[in-house]
Amino acid sequence: MSGMTQSVALLPGGSSSNGLSSTAEPLTLGVMGGGQLGRMFVHAAQTMGYFTAVLDPDAQSPAGRVSHRHIQTDYTDSSGLKELAACSAAITTEFENVPAQALLELAKLRPVSPGADAVAIAQDRAAEKAHFVKCGVPCAPYAVIETKDQLTVALNQNLLPGILKTARMGYDGKGQVRVKDETALRDAWQALQQVPCVLEKMLPLDLECSVILARGRDGHMVNFPVQRNLHREGILAVTEVYEGHLPQALQQQAVAAARSIAEGVDYVGVLCIEFFVLQDGSMVVNEMAPRPHNSGHYTLDACDQSQFDLQVRTLAGLPLTQPRQHSAAVMLNLMGDVWFDSQGAVRLPDWAAVLALPGTHLHLYGKTEARKARKMGHLNVTGATSEEVRKVALKAAAILGIEAF
């Protein structure tokens, strides 16, 4: 953790493990970012007895609308950052594109996790790849392209066909172009305005998976079961977690790699590491997200602790216990497309029919406008067996007009 350290736990209902009177106002936990991940963090913190403060420029931000306090300002606004620090006992972030410099400023005043160093690595694909290599975790062959000379060098490294990705501000498939030859690569870099990029060699992919772990300030780590994920157009569509969904040896390898990556940056908080499993059975790391992740949303209904519960615990310095999954689970991501029929007219999804199915749990994010490709919510399906949850997920997907498996 960068900056200030905290040696005592921030206990619910009081100021610290030093204690206050029973009439003390609950502690406030702050979060940079007001999206759906912040909203679910706020709910988890409030359930545990904390007040919350959200800093986000959007007056209608999902997290800001449910928080005790919403500081409506830009992430780099000095007065807003001071206000957040003044009212919060500790501060976290809900997405990786919060400026690392803002986290550094906050860390001068309050405990901040994850630290700015870890967030800065996740914000830059080149730095991220270098960190993976440093930790001994294999990734796809790649080259950094910042100049025309580096572009020429990359062409001689047998990286085509590949994927050209902007080094910064890329997520959910944005800032990525598939390139098959020299002409396509040059054209793609030009289309991306010649910003710093990373060219990754395309590998024969079998499946995708992810590990979500939580690491405390004392270095203690816990993790959820490895998630099997399906992406469409660069956006997570389906997550499956149940007995037999992935080989045990592969899960052990993924967890060990994720823990190495977290330790390598002295990470504090909830961290997601995404992996590609290749057709030959080998595994390479794709990217890291210094926050809770879409692929962990199933934990809200299928585990005894959710990823957001662990985010609260790591931020407040509370004990971390190994979470347990009690139900087989499938998560369906609900994009704004669900609110439009085949002719493009706005419709209200048939939630009643979906919720009539056994084991369905609907989570909507409080966004006031549905747009295509916008994350609006997710549907968790839980049950006793993989067959049961997959069957229900297929029925729910059919009702909503989306593709499941």
* Strand order from edge to edge, sheet including 90-93: 69-71, 51-55, 28-32, 90-93
Residue pLDDT, tens place only, 80-102: 999 999 999 999 999 988 999 99
Q: Whole-model pTM?
A: 0.94
Domain ranges of the chain: 1-112, 141-201, 205-400
What integer is the mean pLDDT of 41-56? 98
pLDDT value of position 16: 47
Q: How confident is the model at residue 263 (pLDDT cuts 50, 70, 90)?
A: very high
CATH classification for the domain delimited by 205-400, as one of 2.60.40.420, 3.40.630.30, 3.40.50.720, 3.30.470.20: 3.30.470.20
State the greatest distance between any 2 C-alpha atoms of the chain, in Å, as a whole number.
70
Mean pLDDT in the chain?
94
Q: Which two tokens stand for residue 11?
A: 């206990």
Determine what percent of the chain is predicted with pLDDT higher than 70.
94
Residue pLDDT, tens place only, 204-247: 999 999 999 999 999 999 999 999 999 998 899 999 999 999 99
Residue pLDDT, tens place only, 284-315: 999 999 999 999 999 999 999 999 999 999 99
Q: How confident is the model at residue 17 (pLDDT cuts 50, 70, 90)?
A: very low
CA distances to 68, 110, 269 from 5, in Å: 25, 8, 14
CATH classification for the domain delimited by 141-201, as one of 2.40.30.160, 3.30.1490.20, 3.40.50.720, 3.30.565.10: 3.30.1490.20
What integer is the mean pLDDT of 179-201? 95
137 has pLDDT over 70: yes
pLDDT value of position 170: 66
4 has pLDDT over 70: no
Q: Is the peptide bond before 161 cis (omega within 30 degrees of 0)?
A: yes
Q: Which two tokens stand for residue 394?
A: 């297929």
358 has pLDDT over 70: yes
Domain range 1-112, CATH architecture: 3-Layer(aba) Sandwich (3.40)
Residue pLDDT, tens place only, 317-330: 999 999 999 999 99
Domains 1-112 and 205-400 share a fold: no
pLDDT value of position 14: 65
